[in-house]
Amino acid sequence: MELMEKVSYLKGLVDMAEFDPASKETKVLNAMIAVMDELAKTVQSLSEANDQLCDVIESIDEDLSQVEEDLYGDEDEDEDGEEDDEDEEEDGDLYEVTCPTCGETFDVDEFMLDEGEINCPACGERLEFDLQIDDPPAKEEAAEAPSAE
Ligand SMILES: [Zn+2]
């Protein structure tokens, strides 16, 4: 509203000055004020529309947060929570591995075991696994092949 008030004030100033309405300068001045008036109105309505949009986005954001909480809330709690939930690991059991190089113990899952090797997270040493999960390994040479290093 402030912008429109300023334009109105300017319009009043020009009216009070009583410039010669026939002069070229007065016509240019009035034309400029008309444009400013239109700009001020446009800015005003854009600003109002923007406020409404922000309100809508805010409420969508709140709804989305609620949906995210409903969808992922429990899962997050499990991941960050205690470690007494072995029966909840549906995607693959974890296996404890001790690095022979540095002695670091860490967990790997089935997918990592399937790859046959992993780099130790502590020292970076490449570790290879003998796969003995459910099925015997298809490739016999995989178990006997010496390390590539
Ligand atoms: Zn290591």
CA–CA separation, 117 and 52 (whole Å): 56
**Residue range(s) defining the domain that contains residue 51:** 2-80
Same domain for 111 and 125?
Answer: yes
Last residue of a domain, one of 80, 115, 130: 80
Q: pLDDT tens digits, residue range 80-136?
A: 555 555 455 455 678 888 888 898 888 888 778 778 888 888 898 888 876 655 555
Query: How far is the centre of ligand 1, averaged over its atoms, from the C-alpha of 143 (Å)?
Result: 21
Centre of ligand 1 to C-alpha 97, Å, is: 10
Inter-CA distances, 134 with 47, 60, 110, 113, 129, Å: 65, 48, 11, 12, 14
Residues 90 and 47 in one domain: no
Could you tell me if 70 and 94 lie in one domain?
no
How many angstroms separate the alpha carbon of residue 129 from the centre of ligand 1?
14
Report the distance separating Cα 108 and Cα 94, nearest Å: 5
pTM of the entire structure? Answer: 0.43
Given a cut of 60, whether residue 43 has pLDDT beyond it is yes
- Residue 123 CA to ligand 1 centre (angstroms): 4
For residue 78, how far is its CA from the centre of ligand 1 (angstroms)? 28
The CA-to-CA distance between both ends of the chain, in Å, stands at 75
